[in-house]
Amino acid sequence: SLCKKPEYVQGEIITNGSKRSLRARLMKLLPCSGAKKPAAQTQNSVEDELELSAVRHRPEGLEQLEAQTRFSRKELQILYRGFKNECPSGVVNEDTFKDIYSQFFPQGDASTYAHFLFNAFDTDHNGSVSFEDFVMGLSILLRGSVQEKLNWAFNLYDINKDGYITKEEMLDIMKAIYDMMGKCTYPILKEETPRQHVEIFFQKMDKNKDGVVTIDEFIDCCQNDENIMRSMQLFENVI
């Protein structure tokens, strides 16, 4: 499966015990060393394991999700089955998220963009995307109003979530998008292409030329752009 199993925690246990390991090794060589110390260790590790194996996430009930999102019951069922099949533990962490997204863009490097995307989906910023996060994100993207979609896009671009898109943030996003294309493109990708694209973007969006784009400028500008409006409707029928 693509998702990390709870065993990743074993690494933590080992690092905690490294201070004791040398002494423990010497004690092991002596025939009469007490078994008390190792027992305590194993007890701790067993407890830790129990705790961490409970990282399995169970989503809220179907009715609640139906109320919170715009998916029908059947759609939620299909989505959950696919999600659970890929991630039996119920949550996706960032590495697996990057893996999944990279599968679609094998010729480029999709990890940076996947990182931004992960942050956009992980609304409560706890480092993992549960099924609720996933389905709420999808609900906005596929069934939301244009306003909501633009909001979501703004949230994606605004990396530090301060309400403004600066040129640096936009440049990061742009580079991430261009990275996905990879090196073999036609015409060849040059160093300043993302920067130029960012300039064009800011020229279009930044109405008051203060160097940042606010949410209102963004939404206004997008609503006036026919191309963007049309492309927002593009993925209506994905599910």
Partner 1 sequence: MAAGVAAWLPFARAAAIGWMPVANLPMPVAPTEKNKRQDELIILNVSGRRFQTWRNTLDRYPDTLLGSSEKEFFYNEETREYFFDRDPDVFRSILNFYRTGKLHYPRYECISAYDEELAFFGIIPEIISDCCYEEYKDRKRENAERLMDDNEDNKDCKLPNMTFRETMWRAFENPHTSTMALVFYYVTGFFIAVSVITNVVETVPCGATPNQKDMPCGERYTEAFFCMDTACVMIFTVEYLMRLFAAPSRYRFIRSVMSIIDVVAILPYYIGLVMTNNEDVSGAFVTLRVFRVFRIFKFSRHSQGLRILGYTLKSCASELGFLLFSLTMAIIIFATVMFYAEKGSTSSKFTSIPASFWYTIVTMTTLGYGDMVPKTIAGKIFGSICSLSGVLVIALPVPVIVSNFSRIYHQNQRADKRRAQKKARLARMRISKTGSSSAFLHSKRNGLLNESLELTVRTGKTMSLLESQHHHLLHCLEKTTVRSYQLKGPTVGVGTGIIKNHEFMDEQLYEQSYLETALQSYPSRSPSLSSQGLTGTCCSRRAKKSSQLPNASAATSGLQELSAINIQCGDPPLSTSRSSLNMRPDDPPRLNCQSGQITTAIISIPTPPATTPDGDGHTLPNPSVQNIVKVSAL
State the residue for tokens 């090196």.
183
| Dist. CA 157–CA 224, nearest whole Å | 19
Region class of 182: left (phi > 0), else alpha (psi between -120 and 50), else beta: left
Which residue lies nearer to partner 1 by CB, 125 or 230? 230
State the residue for tokens 């998916």.
71
Residue 165 pairs in a beta bridge with 213
Smallest distance, Å, CB 154 to partner 1? 8
| Dist. CA 91–CA 5, nearest whole Å | 10
Among 20-28, 36-44, 48-56, 194-202, the segment contacting partner 1 (CB under 8 A): 194-202
99 in Cβ contact with 2 (< 8 Å): yes
Among 16-24, 32-40, 44-52, 77-85, the segment contacting partner 1 (CB under 8 A): 77-85
Tell me if 64 contacts partner 1 by CB under 8 A: no
Tell me if 106 contacts partner 1 by CB under 8 A: yes
Choose which of 9, 24, 90, 101 interacts with partner 1 (CB under 8 A).
Answer: 101
Binding mask 139-178 for partner 1 (x = CB under 8 A): --xx------xx-xx--xx---------------xx--xx
Which residue lies nearer to partner 1 by CB, 173 or 212? 173
215 in Cβ contact with 151 (< 8 Å): yes
| Dist. CA 171–CA 157, nearest whole Å | 10
| Dist. CA 114–CA 2, nearest whole Å | 15
- Which residues contact partner 1 (rule: CB under 8 A)? 1-2, 74, 78-79, 81-83, 85-86, 99-109, 111, 116-117, 120, 134, 137-138, 141-142, 149-150, 152-153, 156-157, 173-174, 177-178, 180-187, 189, 197, 200-201, 218, 222, 227-228, 230-232, 234-235, 237-239
